[in-house]
Copies of this chain bind each other. A is one copy, B any other.
Amino acid sequence: MISDFTLSLPQWAIDEHARLPSHLHTIEERMAAVIRFSRLNFENGTGGPFAAGVFERDSGKLVVIGVNRVVLSNCSSAHAEVMALSLAQQALGTYDLGGAGMPVYQFVVNWRPCAMCYGATLWSGVRSLVIAGSGPELESITGFDEGPIHPQWDEELAKRGVELTNNVLHEEALAVYRDFAASGKLVYNGRGGDSA
């Protein structure tokens, strides 16, 4: 039987990390890096147009930017958010990025996380979520299903101590989705058998 699995970033992402500064001081710089990774991911054929970064909120120190790896990893949970949070937790040696004595960690994503990744965000311990948008544009442009997220998703974040910053580099994020849609690359929603 298979008793373990490994998820990894593509080589281009490792190379790009090496070129990034150690600190990104504004949330716009952080989002720009995340959006750049989202574009490179689909252009390199290594996954969907999604990326997510973990930073120290106050210093801007970059921990890691993850990208979507669903198709090539054979893993429907390998969304950019799960990749980034898991890699950050491995790097920092803890399952709780909100543990006592730690800096405030900020999670920067190129759209509102899907139903699964919304939960993954809550459980990660991050105390700040920065997104490029939260409307239906992502689904309508790309065809990806984002799932049934809780109607009071923003209030539920606040209740759990996660501060939200929305609409950062909104148009820049949408441009990547439009280019992805125009590329004709795979939209990998589950249960493909339904339409086969």
Contact = CB atoms under 8 A, between A and B. Distances in A.
Contacts of A160: 145, 191
Interface string A159-187: 01100000000000000000000000000
Nearest to A118: B115
A139 B178 CA distance: 42
9 contacts: A1-B17, A71-B95, A74-B93, A75-B86, A76-B123, A96-B188, A114-B119, A115-B119, A116-B118
A89 B74 CA distance: 6
A30 interface: no
Interface of A: 1-9, 13-14, 17-18, 64, 70-71, 73-78, 82, 85-87, 89-91, 93-102, 114-120, 122-125, 127, 145, 147-153, 156, 160-161, 188-194, 196
Contact of A150 (B120, B150, B189): B150
A192 B160 CA distance: 11
B191 A91 contact: no
Contact of A4 (B6, B82, B85, B194): B6
A173 to B, nearest CB: 21
A73 B95 contact: yes
Contact of A3 (B1, B13, B102): B13
Contact of A96 (B4, B17, B87, B191): B191
Contacts of A91: 1-2
